[in-house]
Amino acid sequence: MSEVLLETRNLSFTYPGEDEKSPPALEGIDLQIADGEYVALIGPNGSGKTTLLKQFNALLRPTSGELYFDGRSTADENNIAFIRAHCGMIFQNPDNQIVGATVEEDVAFALENLAVPPPEIRRRVAEALELLGISQLAATPPHLLSGGEKQKVAMAGILAAAPRCLLLDEPTAMLDPAGQAAVIDTLQMLNRERGITVVHVTHFPEEAALARRVIVLDRGRLVQDGPPAEILTDLGPLRALGLRTTAAGELAGLLREDGFPLCRGILHNRELVEQLCLFAQKI
């Protein structure tokens, strides 16, 4: 078992000013995420996904219980700068996180705040732009970019700061299919090749199916936690929460209900096609 990077212990959180009778946004969350994991966080609207992500990088702190990043509690003010520096967060709307007059300046912004020496800043910015395939946009003012391009700029800014953990809140919600694929490919590459821990909030089952672990929240509670082939093929609990699985998973479920002898755990189109071909060969 790898080292634990993120850990919550009986974490509960109520937004300040909320009525005492209203349920907490998070309640009794016990969770460990190992260094290098790729976790998808799913759940209906209002289930607490964004609130939990914000706890992970100490934008919010528990009302009761604890949260530790790399063994450091977010309750201790002295740990906050360390945690924020190592835990980069990407939001759904890139407009909220772009500050520079050009793409290059924007990507350099966090590094300048961290007092990184200028030659090192130039090197890291160039590398991050290259990684996301947007080097040609270096001198462009961000307000002239499309939503997908802006999201890549925001990601480059986070990556240049070399975080150990990426927290993403519906990062592809505003992107076209090509932009979505580019962001997902980048996340997978960063996780596989650089060992960056990824916690990815998504309403897209196809994205959740690419994670190694899926955590389901419902009304502030952690209700399921396991590999995608288990969580996303157990259709009853998903449907009860108003969630769905991948298109291939839904189709496989319907075929099985109609008596097709398909094995469990199908989530990807390719797996379904292979199973159907096997079935066709037998008849």
State the binding partner of 136 from Mg ion, ligand ATP, none, CB within 5 to 8 A by kind. none
- In 3D, which of 83, 54, 55 has the Cα closest to residue 67? 55
Q: What is the enclosing helix (H) or strand (E) of 118?
A: helix 118-131
Residue spans of alpha helices (H) in 2-102: 49-56, 80-86
The yes or no reply on residue 45 touching ligand ATP (CB under 6 A) is yes
Considering only 5, 27, 29, 49, the residue that binds ligand ATP (CB under 6 A) is 49
Q: Is 15 or 279 the residue whose CB approaches ligand ATP more closely?
A: 15
Longest CA span, the chain: 68
Segment near ligand ATP (CB under 6 A); pick from 43-51, 109-117, 127-135, 232-240 = 43-51
Considering only 46, 71, 118, 261, the residue that binds ligand ATP (CB under 6 A) is 46
* Closest distance of CB 181 from Mg ion, Å: 22
Residue spans of alpha helices (H) in 132-268: 147-160, 177-194, 205-208, 228-231, 235-240, 247-257
* Cβ atoms within 10 Å of 177's Cβ, excluding its own: 8
The yes or no reply on residue 18 touching ligand ATP (CB under 6 A) is yes
Residue that is written with structure tokens 């350099």 in the block: 108
The yes or no reply on residue 47 touching ligand ATP (CB under 6 A) is yes
Considering only 50, 74, 191, 233, the residue that binds Mg ion (CB under 5 A) is 50
Considering only 29, 36, 51, 94, the residue that binds ligand ATP (CB under 6 A) is 51
